Amino acid sequence: MGRKILVTGGAGFIGSHVTEELLGRGYEVAVLDNLSGGGADQVPAGARLYELDITESVESAFEEFSPDDVIHLAAQVSVAVSMQDPEMDARINVLGSLNIIGAARRHGVRRIVYASSAACYGVQDRDVLSEEMRCVPASFYGASKYAVEHCLLSAREDSGLEWAALRFANVYGPRQDPHGEAGVVAIFARLLLDGGQPKIFGGGELKRDYIFVEDVARAVALMLEVELDGCEDPVFNCSTALGTTTNQIYELLKTACSSGVDALAGPWRPGDVQSLILNNTRLKRLLDWAPRVPLEEGIGRTAEYFRDAT
């Protein structure tokens, strides 16, 4: 058997793909998830599920499974919810993460790979964002994601626990929640396939950095295999570094879903930044990795998934 990896949030969108990728690479994988967002049916066969909450005791999973490494993806994932209830967001995203970090330290885990976010950056005066820029999170969600990067830094100083954080751009692909607040590809695909009419806010010219979930899963898995010695600040953007407008996404989806429906125009939403593109040079260099799935292919595969899921 290979090394043992515990994936928190492994029943969710990104986590289920990460679990699949790890199983394919010969790792032994267990998922820790409270199924609040994900589903047991999304946990790939071959991975054991611990139905636990990261804000409560997680000892049983660490004792029984005894992971070598942890991939920590479980989170409250909604920016809007974080703004409505910042304490709840912090309880799950900060205290829950500290709970996982504490268990990892007690049980001799070598490394934690943490799912951070582009939301750490907040509003910046540049279009393409790099890791060395000062983060000014504009949401409680962004602030909690950023706080945990610092908690991991402290844990390493104190106990030698290795860590790396990947700041994901806009991840899309099969199994993304089409009823969520974010994830336009999934939301539009579901609507178009069901004969609905998506709404595009603010003219549709906002640019985002869309990365296919399998490219993210591969980067996460590779993060377990690299040397992090000498990496003072192991924070890496995980992105394509390409900007695509919502209008461009919509056109690709219309083709992929064989739809002729035009989108409705919605108002400009306060807080929406014009452009959010992440430089990925650091991650490419570290992992010898690059995104492989072009947008058109990724959108086609996502539409196919939602067509079959009806």
Ligand X SMILES: NC(=O)c1ccc[n+]([C@@H]2O[C@H](COP(=O)([O-])OP(=O)(O)OC[C@H]3O[C@@H](n4cnc5c(N)ncnc54)[C@H](O)[C@@H]3O)[C@@H](O)[C@H]2O)c1
Tokens standing for residue 31: 């998922």
Selected from 5, 6, 7, 15, the binder of ligand X by CB under 6 A is 15
Number of H helices, E strands in the chain: 11, 15
Selected from 47, 92, 120, 278, the binder of ligand X by CB under 6 A is 92
* Residue 140 and residue 78 in contact, taking contact as beta carbons nearer than 8 Å: no
Q: Is 53 in the site for ligand X (CB under 6 A)?
A: yes
Compute CA distances 199 → 17, 86, 188, 256, 261, whole Å: 28, 28, 8, 18, 11
In the complex, minimum distance from the CB of residue 51 to ligand X, in angstroms, rounded to a whole number: 9
> What is the separation of C-alpha 179 from the centre of its chain, rounded to a whole number of angstroms?
17
Span interacting with ligand X, options 6-14, 22-30, 151-159, 286-294, rule CB under 6 A: 6-14
Q: Is 35 in the site for ligand X (CB under 6 A)?
A: yes
Residue type, 78: S
Judge whether 141 counts as a catalytic residue. Answer: yes
* Residue 298 and residue 212 in contact, taking contact as beta carbons nearer than 8 Å: yes
Q: Is 37 in the site for ligand X (CB under 6 A)?
A: yes
Query: Which one from 121, 141, 172, 210 is the annotated catalytic residue?
Result: 141
Residue 170's nearest CA partner among 244, 63, 264, 250 is 244
Pattern 186-225, ligand X, x by CB under 6 A? ----------------------------------------
Q: Which is nearer to ligand X, 36 or 66 (CB)?
A: 36
In this structure, what DSSP letter does residue 283 have? H
Q: Is 299 in the site for ligand X (CB under 6 A)?
A: no
Span interacting with ligand X, options 29-37, 121-129, 255-263, 265-273, rule CB under 6 A: 29-37
Residue 212's nearest CA partner among 250, 166, 171 is 171
Residues forming the active site: 141
Site residues (vs ligand X, CB under 6 A): 9, 11-15, 33-38, 53-55, 73-77, 92, 96, 115, 117, 168, 170-171, 177
